[in-house]
Amino acid sequence: MGHPLLELTNKTAVVIGGTSGIGLALTRGLAQAGANVVPTGRGLIWSVLRLRRWRLLDGGRSRKLVTSQIVPASKGS
């Protein structure tokens, strides 16, 4: 069920840092508005547990989970 002022059905949103804190709140809000959400997070196990807790990964609007980590570029690049 979407928000009356924000209809995102059939839209996809990628949320960087979407498995904790403000990013998780954004992930939940976008999913509630009807979006297919692809949250990213640093740790796969932690991210899956967190999203299952909010029922976004299993049976919800989130269909994919991407793990990512930012690392410093080497000095030679």
Q: Do residues 58 and 32 touch, judged by C-beta distance below 8 A? A: no
The answer to whether residue 39 sits within a structural domain is yes
Q: What is the DSSP string of 9-44?
A: TT-EEEETTTTSHHHHHHHHHHHHTT-EEEEEES-H
Please check the confidence at residue 5 and state whether its pLDDT lies above 90. Answer: no
pLDDT tens digits, one per residue of 53-69:
777 666 666 667 777 77
The answer to whether residue 56 sits within a structural domain is yes
As for how many domains the chain has, the answer is 1
Instruction: Name the DSSP class of 45.
Output: H
The answer to whether residue 62 sits within a structural domain is yes
Q: Do residues 45 and 19 touch, judged by C-beta distance below 8 A? A: no
Q: How confident is the model at residue 22 (pLDDT cuts 50, 70, 90)?
A: very high
The answer to whether residue 36 sits within a structural domain is yes
The answer to whether residue 30 sits within a structural domain is yes
pLDDT tens digits, one per residue of 7-20:
888 889 899 888 88
Domain span at residue 63? Answer: 12-67
The answer to whether residue 72 sits within a structural domain is no
pTM (global) more than 0.85: no
The answer to whether residue 59 sits within a structural domain is yes
Instruction: Name the DSSP class of 55.
Output: T
Interval 71-75 mean pLDDT: 73
